[in-house]
Amino acid sequence: MSKVLVTIPKDLLTEVDQTTKELKTNRSQFFRQAIVKYLHEIKQKKFEALMAEGYQEMAQEDIFDAQAFLGATASLAEQENV
């Protein structure tokens, strides 16, 4: 593993130390878990954004298909009335 020097506000470090005592872990393990969780959240948000974009594109395609279908249906109806 690599070592990293990080500067954080004293009140935040106090809160981390209190939490690590409650969880019976150490700072290093706490920060590793926090980083892994945060990176997972970032990846999840990117995935959700891609999914939302895909759904929007599919919605546009569905509208186009529905309009084409309605146009074809109207054309057939006109031919039957002639």
Is a pLDDT exceeding 90 seen at residue 66? no
Largest Cα span, the chain: 85
Is a pLDDT exceeding 80 seen at residue 73? no
2, part of any domain: no
The helix-helix angle for 10-23 and 27-81 (nearest 10°) equals: 90
47, part of any domain: yes
pTM strictly above 0.75 = no
Give me the count of residues in the chain: 82
Number of structural domains found in the chain: 1
Measured at the CA of 26, the angle between CA 13 and CA 15, to 5 degrees, comes to 25
* Residue 20: partners with Cβ closer than 8 Å, 6 or more residues away: 26, 27, 29, 30
Domain extent at residue 48: 17-81
Is a pLDDT exceeding 70 seen at residue 82? no
9, part of any domain: no
Is a pLDDT exceeding 90 seen at residue 62? no
56, part of any domain: yes
3, part of any domain: no
